[in-house]
């Protein structure tokens, strides 16, 4: 949360696990983003949802990549498992939330839905995304009641997926041209409230309307899945 000037505060539960460090990296990414917005007017600091998670997930990506470069054996398995658990939530579970909200709003435009009907929509969304990858007995039909994200802003969940895949794409650009990237990254973050995601991404040669860009980002996750299966078998 931005406080004053470049100062931010982070509130989180920290237990010393790798996942906690990953969460801390995520929140510090938000704090870094806040420093780039410090000189903007209050209205210019209002970020579009599509870009609100850019710095946080990019920061996570840096940490994960560094961990994978240095970890071996069981430590490497732990790093990849933690990363894939997060990616599964962001890519798969949040897709189920998108499907649920879409179906809920379509039905709600016609009439009020009961609790049972709302739970059924959630179960159907989880079925559509997880398939047989999630035991039916542990599906959470009351997720719509447990997640506060549904009660703050419409489709508040989806920017996490956008942010993850966009962050992976940005990291690829950083690896290709680190000096050029560094000179433009802060400007991108400070300009998030001044333009569309497509216009800002074009500064890095990224076309967010091109399906190939998103496929390439998903391929990074596929590679990590293959790596995890190989070293854990």
pTM: 0.78
User: Where are the alpha helices (H) located in the chain, listed in sequence order?
Assistant: 18-37, 54-70, 73-88, 94-108, 115-130, 143-146, 158-176, 178-190, 197-201, 211-232
Residue environment code for 101-130, b if the CB has 16+ CB neighbours within 10 A, otherwise e? bebbeeeeeeeeeeeeebbebbbebbeebb
Residue 183: count of CB within 10 angstroms of its CB: 10
Cβ-based neighbours of 25, under 8 Å, separated by 6 or more: 59, 60, 62, 63
C-alpha distances (whole Å) from 76 to each of 5, 71, 206 are 39, 5, 31
Q: What is the pLDDT of residues 63-72, one digit of tens each?
A: 888 888 888 8
- Extents of the domains making up the chain: 2-94+158-232
The arithmetic mean of pLDDT across residues 97-108, rounded, is: 96
Picking from 49, 63, 58, 61, the residue whose alpha carbon sits closest to that of residue 31 is 58
C-alpha distances (whole Å) from 132 to each of 63, 97, 105, 126 are 31, 17, 26, 10
pLDDT of residue 119: 96
The arithmetic mean of pLDDT across residues 36-58, rounded, is: 85
The arithmetic mean of pLDDT across residues 154-182, rounded, is: 84
* pLDDT bucket at 97, cuts 50 / 70 / 90: very high
Q: What is the pLDDT of residues 187-201, one digit of tens each?
A: 889 988 888 888 888
The arithmetic mean of pLDDT across residues 118-130, rounded, is: 95
pLDDT of residue 150: 87
Q: What is the pLDDT of residues 14-35, one digit of tens each?
A: 898 888 888 899 999 999 999 9
pLDDT at position 179 over 90: no
Task: State how far the Cα of 4 lies from the Cα of 29, in Å rounded to an integer.
Answer: 17
Q: What is the pLDDT of residues 201-226, one digit of tens each?
A: 888 788 989 999 899 889 889 988 99
pLDDT of residue 176: 84
pLDDT at position 49 over 80: no
Q: Tell me the average pLDDT of the chain.
A: 88
């Amino acid at each position: 949360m931005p406080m004053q000037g470049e100062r931010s505060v982070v509130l989180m539960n920290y237990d010393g696990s790798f996942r906690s460090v990953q969460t801390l990296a995520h929140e510090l990414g938000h704090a870094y983003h806040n420093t780039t917005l410090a000189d903007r007017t209050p209205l210019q600091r209002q970020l579009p949802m599509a870009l609100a998670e850019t710095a946080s997930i990019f920061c996570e990506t840096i940490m994960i990549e560094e961990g994978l470069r240095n970890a071996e054996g069981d430590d490497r398995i732990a790093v990849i498992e933690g990363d894939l658990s997060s990616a599964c939530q962001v890519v798969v579970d949040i897709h189920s939330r998108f499907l649920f909200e879409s179906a809920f709003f379509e039905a709600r435009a016609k009439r009020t839905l009961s609790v049972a009907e709302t739970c059924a929509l959630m179960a159907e969304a989880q079925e559509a995304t997880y398939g047989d990858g999630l035991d039916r007995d542990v599906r959470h039909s009351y997720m719509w009641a447990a997640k506060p994200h549904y009660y703050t802003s419409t489709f508040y969940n989806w920017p996490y997926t956008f942010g993850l895949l966009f962050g992976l794409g940005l990291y690829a650009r950083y690896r290709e041209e680190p000096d050029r990237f560094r000179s433009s990254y802060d400007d991108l973050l400070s300009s998030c409230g001044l333009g569309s995601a497509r216009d800002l991404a074009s500064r890095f040669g990224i076309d967010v309307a091109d399906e190939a860009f998103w496929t390439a980002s998903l391929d990074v996750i596929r590679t990590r899945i293959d790596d995890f299966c190989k070293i854990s078998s």
